[in-house]
Protein backbone atom coordinates (compact mmCIF):
# COMPACT_ATOMS: atom_id res chain seq x y z
CA UNK A 1 0.00 0.00 0.00
CA UNK A 2 1.19 3.49 -0.71
CA UNK A 3 2.21 5.72 2.15
CA UNK A 4 0.26 8.63 0.73
CA UNK A 5 -3.07 9.39 2.32
CA UNK A 6 -5.96 7.76 0.50
CA UNK A 7 -7.71 11.13 0.29
CA UNK A 8 -4.95 12.79 -1.65
CA UNK A 9 -6.61 15.14 -4.09
CA UNK A 10 -3.66 15.72 -6.38
CA UNK A 11 -4.76 13.16 -8.90
CA UNK A 12 -2.11 11.80 -11.21
CA UNK A 13 -2.68 11.74 -14.94
CA UNK A 14 -2.67 7.95 -14.88
CA UNK A 15 -5.40 7.92 -12.26
CA UNK A 16 -7.54 10.32 -14.28
CA UNK A 17 -6.99 8.32 -17.46
CA UNK A 18 -8.17 5.30 -15.46
CA UNK A 19 -11.69 6.73 -15.07
CA UNK A 20 -12.75 6.32 -18.74
CA UNK A 21 -11.28 2.81 -18.74
CA UNK A 22 -13.24 1.96 -15.59
CA UNK A 23 -16.44 3.19 -17.17
CA UNK A 24 -15.71 1.12 -20.27
CA UNK A 25 -15.15 -1.96 -18.12
CA UNK A 26 -18.44 -1.31 -16.31
CA UNK A 27 -20.18 -1.15 -19.65
CA UNK A 28 -18.59 -4.34 -20.99
CA UNK A 29 -19.22 -6.19 -17.73
CA UNK A 30 -22.90 -5.47 -18.20
CA UNK A 31 -22.78 -6.49 -21.86
CA UNK A 32 -20.99 -9.77 -21.11
CA UNK A 33 -23.39 -10.56 -18.27
CA UNK A 34 -26.24 -9.99 -20.70
CA UNK A 35 -24.52 -12.06 -23.40
CA UNK A 36 -24.04 -15.00 -21.03
CA UNK A 37 -27.55 -14.49 -19.62
CA UNK A 38 -26.21 -14.28 -16.07
CA UNK A 39 -28.84 -13.37 -13.49
CA UNK A 40 -26.79 -10.36 -12.31
CA UNK A 41 -25.90 -6.99 -13.80
CA UNK A 42 -22.16 -6.92 -13.00
CA UNK A 43 -22.15 -3.33 -14.18
CA UNK A 44 -19.79 -1.90 -11.57
CA UNK A 45 -16.68 -4.05 -12.01
CA UNK A 46 -14.78 -1.09 -13.42
CA UNK A 47 -15.77 1.20 -10.56
CA UNK A 48 -14.74 -1.39 -7.97
CA UNK A 49 -11.46 -2.13 -9.79
CA UNK A 50 -10.59 1.55 -10.09
CA UNK A 51 -11.19 1.98 -6.34
CA UNK A 52 -8.88 -0.94 -5.61
CA UNK A 53 -6.23 0.48 -7.95
CA UNK A 54 -6.36 4.21 -7.31
CA UNK A 55 -8.30 4.81 -4.10
CA UNK A 56 -11.71 6.03 -3.01
CA UNK A 57 -11.68 9.41 -4.77
CA UNK A 58 -11.06 7.97 -8.23
CA UNK A 59 -13.48 5.15 -7.44
CA UNK A 60 -16.22 7.58 -6.46
CA UNK A 61 -15.56 9.78 -9.50
CA UNK A 62 -15.72 6.73 -11.77
CA UNK A 63 -19.02 5.72 -10.26
CA UNK A 64 -20.63 9.15 -10.54
CA UNK A 65 -19.35 9.89 -14.04
CA UNK A 66 -20.33 6.39 -15.14
CA UNK A 67 -23.98 6.98 -14.31
CA UNK A 68 -24.00 10.50 -15.70
CA UNK A 69 -22.55 9.29 -19.00
CA UNK A 70 -24.93 6.36 -19.05
CA UNK A 71 -27.75 8.78 -18.38
CA UNK A 72 -26.93 11.04 -21.31
CA UNK A 73 -26.27 8.25 -23.80
CA UNK A 74 -28.45 5.25 -23.08
CA UNK A 75 -30.81 5.46 -20.16
CA UNK A 76 -31.71 8.74 -18.36
CA UNK A 77 -33.09 6.80 -15.39
CA UNK A 78 -29.59 5.68 -14.37
CA UNK A 79 -28.52 9.26 -13.64
CA UNK A 80 -30.61 9.04 -10.49
CA UNK A 81 -28.28 6.36 -9.14
CA UNK A 82 -25.07 8.37 -9.64
CA UNK A 83 -24.93 8.88 -5.87
CA UNK A 84 -25.19 5.13 -5.28
CA UNK A 85 -22.38 4.38 -7.71
CA UNK A 86 -20.22 7.05 -6.13
CA UNK A 87 -20.80 5.53 -2.70
CA UNK A 88 -19.87 2.07 -4.00
CA UNK A 89 -16.55 3.43 -5.29
CA UNK A 90 -15.94 5.27 -2.04
CA UNK A 91 -16.75 2.24 0.14
CA UNK A 92 -14.57 -0.18 -1.81
CA UNK A 93 -11.71 2.32 -1.95
CA UNK A 94 -11.72 2.87 1.81
CA UNK A 95 -11.91 -0.84 2.64
CA UNK A 96 -9.21 -1.71 0.11
CA UNK A 97 -6.97 0.97 1.58
CA UNK A 98 -7.55 -0.37 5.09
CA UNK A 99 -6.29 -3.71 3.81
CA UNK A 100 -9.56 -5.62 4.13
CA UNK A 101 -9.09 -7.44 0.86
CA UNK A 102 -6.99 -10.32 2.14
CA UNK A 103 -8.68 -13.56 1.23
CA UNK A 104 -11.95 -14.78 -0.17
CA UNK A 105 -13.73 -14.52 3.19
CA UNK A 106 -12.90 -10.87 3.77
CA UNK A 107 -13.63 -10.12 0.13
CA UNK A 108 -17.13 -11.57 0.52
CA UNK A 109 -17.56 -9.47 3.67
CA UNK A 110 -16.51 -6.35 1.74
CA UNK A 111 -18.99 -7.30 -0.98
CA UNK A 112 -21.78 -7.63 1.61
CA UNK A 113 -20.94 -4.23 3.10
CA UNK A 114 -20.87 -2.64 -0.34
CA UNK A 115 -24.24 -4.24 -1.15
CA UNK A 116 -25.74 -2.82 2.03
CA UNK A 117 -24.25 0.62 1.39
CA UNK A 118 -25.72 0.55 -2.12
CA UNK A 119 -29.12 -0.52 -0.78
CA UNK A 120 -29.14 2.11 1.98
CA UNK A 121 -28.42 4.88 -0.52
CA UNK A 122 -30.75 3.55 -3.25
CA UNK A 123 -33.75 3.19 -0.94
CA UNK A 124 -34.51 6.91 -0.42
CA UNK A 125 -33.92 7.50 -4.15
CA UNK A 126 -36.31 4.68 -5.05
CA UNK A 127 -38.96 5.99 -2.67
CA UNK A 128 -38.67 9.59 -3.88
CA UNK A 129 -38.56 8.82 -7.58
CA UNK A 130 -40.70 5.75 -8.11
CA UNK A 131 -42.60 5.07 -4.92
CA UNK A 132 -40.09 2.53 -3.64
CA UNK A 133 -39.61 0.09 -6.48
CA UNK A 134 -36.54 -0.84 -8.49
CA UNK A 135 -37.94 -2.17 -11.76
CA UNK A 136 -36.27 -5.52 -11.09
CA UNK A 137 -38.81 -8.37 -11.22
CA UNK A 138 -37.54 -10.30 -8.17
CA UNK A 139 -36.98 -7.21 -6.06
CA UNK A 140 -40.41 -5.80 -6.90
CA UNK A 141 -42.11 -9.13 -6.20
CA UNK A 142 -40.46 -9.06 -2.77
CA UNK A 143 -41.59 -5.43 -2.36
CA UNK A 144 -45.17 -6.36 -3.22
CA UNK A 145 -45.02 -9.27 -0.77
CA UNK A 146 -43.78 -7.04 2.07
CA UNK A 147 -46.28 -4.25 1.37
CA UNK A 148 -49.12 -6.79 1.22
CA UNK A 149 -48.00 -8.05 4.64
CA UNK A 150 -48.43 -4.46 5.93
CA UNK A 151 -44.77 -3.61 6.28
CA UNK A 152 -44.06 0.14 5.95
CA UNK A 153 -43.06 1.32 2.49
CA UNK A 154 -39.50 2.27 3.44
CA UNK A 155 -38.82 -1.19 4.87
CA UNK A 156 -40.35 -2.93 1.86
CA UNK A 157 -38.32 -0.70 -0.45
CA UNK A 158 -35.17 -1.44 1.51
CA UNK A 159 -35.91 -5.16 1.20
CA UNK A 160 -36.43 -4.68 -2.52
CA UNK A 161 -33.01 -2.99 -2.83
CA UNK A 162 -31.28 -5.61 -0.69
CA UNK A 163 -32.61 -8.46 -2.86
CA UNK A 164 -31.39 -6.64 -5.96
CA UNK A 165 -28.10 -5.15 -4.77
CA UNK A 166 -26.44 -7.51 -2.31
CA UNK A 167 -25.96 -10.59 -4.54
CA UNK A 168 -24.86 -8.40 -7.43
CA UNK A 169 -22.34 -6.43 -5.39
CA UNK A 170 -20.89 -9.53 -3.68
CA UNK A 171 -20.33 -11.12 -7.11
CA UNK A 172 -18.90 -7.86 -8.47
CA UNK A 173 -16.42 -7.45 -5.64
CA UNK A 174 -15.31 -11.11 -5.88
CA UNK A 175 -14.80 -10.91 -9.63
CA UNK A 176 -12.96 -7.58 -9.36
CA UNK A 177 -10.75 -9.00 -6.61
CA UNK A 178 -9.72 -11.97 -8.75
CA UNK A 179 -8.99 -9.71 -11.70
CA UNK A 180 -7.03 -7.37 -9.46
CA UNK A 181 -4.99 -10.26 -8.07
CA UNK A 182 -4.18 -11.38 -11.59
CA UNK A 183 -2.89 -8.01 -12.76
CA UNK A 184 0.85 -7.62 -13.33
CA UNK A 185 2.54 -5.56 -10.61
CA UNK A 186 3.96 -2.92 -12.93
CA UNK A 187 0.46 -2.15 -14.13
CA UNK A 188 -0.80 -1.66 -10.57
CA UNK A 189 2.04 0.59 -9.47
CA UNK A 190 1.42 3.35 -12.00
CA UNK A 191 -1.90 4.20 -10.39
CA UNK A 192 -0.43 4.38 -6.90
CA UNK A 193 2.34 6.80 -7.66
CA UNK A 194 4.91 4.86 -5.58
CA UNK A 195 7.67 4.22 -8.08
CA UNK A 196 9.62 7.32 -8.94
CA UNK A 197 10.12 6.33 -12.52
CA UNK A 198 6.63 5.23 -13.22
CA UNK A 199 4.88 8.13 -11.58
CA UNK A 200 3.33 10.39 -14.14
Nearest approach in angstroms of CB 112 to another protein is 19
3-state secondary structure of 110: helix
Nearest approach in angstroms of CB 181 to another protein is 11
Length of the chain: 200
Nearer to another protein, 1 or 183 (CB): 183
Nearest approach in angstroms of CB 140 to another protein is 5
Q: Give the closest residue to 180 by CA, choosing from 90, 88, 87, 101.
A: 101
Nearer to another protein, 2 or 12 (CB): 12
Sorted by sequence, the CB contacts under 8 Å of residue 103 that are 6+ apart come out as none
Nearer to another protein, 50 or 98 (CB): 50
Nearest approach in angstroms of CB 129 to another protein is 7
Nearer to another protein, 45 or 162 (CB): 45
Nearest approach in angstroms of CB 119 to another protein is 17
Query: Which chain residues interact with another protein by CB under 8 A?
Result: 11-14, 16-21, 23-25, 27-29, 31-33, 35-39, 42, 45, 49, 61, 65, 68-69, 71-77, 79, 128-131, 133-135, 137, 140, 143-144, 147-148, 150, 153, 175, 178-179, 182-183, 187, 190, 200
Q: Give the long-range contacts of residues 5-13, CB within 8 A, separation 24 or more.
A: 6/55, 6/56, 6/57, 6/93, 6/94, 6/97, 7/55, 7/56, 7/57, 8/55, 8/57, 9/57, 11/57, 11/58, 12/191, 12/193, 12/199, 12/200, 13/200
Amino acid sequence: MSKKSMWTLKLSTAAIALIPAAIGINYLGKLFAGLLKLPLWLDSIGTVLSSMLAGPIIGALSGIINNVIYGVTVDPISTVYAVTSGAIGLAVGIMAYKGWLKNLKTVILVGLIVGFVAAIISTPLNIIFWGGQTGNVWGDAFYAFLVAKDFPVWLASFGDSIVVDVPDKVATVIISYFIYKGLPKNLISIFRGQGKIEEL
